[in-house]
């Protein structure tokens, strides 16, 4: 498909037809990068996207141990630290 570059101030833009927007799953923003002199446009990557699934895949936290509890107390812990 051929698209004309339109002037937007000092920049240029392209109009993406709605069927392509729908097919690619674009929202209100996209990610842009250049690979081998080609412009690659991908759906926006949300911050922390996929973290919830990764936490679930790691399993329950009930068996996690606190590593700091296994360290012996030092001078700071014995003398300096007050709750």
Q: Are 14 and 3 in contact (CB under 8 A)?
A: yes
pLDDT at 35: 97
Specify the pLDDT at position 49: 80
**Beta bridge partners of residue 25, listed in sequence order:** none
Query: What's the Rg (C-alpha) of the chain?
Result: 26
Q: What is the mean pLDDT of residues 13-21?
A: 94
CA distances from 43 to 27, 28, 64 (A): 7, 9, 36
pLDDT at position 68: 64
pLDDT in tens, 31-79: 999 999 999 999 988 788 888 888 888 877 766 677 666 677 788 777 7
Query: In the predicted model, is pLDDT for residue 20 greater than 90?
Result: yes
pLDDT at residue 73, as a whole number = 77
- Contact between 25 and 16 under an 8 Å Cβ cutoff? The reply is no
Q: Which CATH number fits domain 6-43: 3.40.50, 2.10.260, 2.40.160, 3.30.300?
A: 2.10.260
């Amino acid at each position: 498909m051929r698209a004309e570059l339109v002037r937007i101030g000092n920049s240029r833009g392209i109009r993406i037809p709605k069927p392509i927007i729908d097919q690619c799953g674009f929202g209100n923003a996209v990610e842009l990068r250049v690979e081998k002199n080609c412009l690659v446009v991908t759906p926006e990557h949300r911050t922390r996207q996929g973290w919830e699934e990764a936490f679930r895949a790691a399993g329950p936290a009930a068996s996690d141990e606190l590593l700091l509890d296994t360290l012996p107390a030092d001078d700071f812990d014995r003398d300096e630290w007050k709750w």
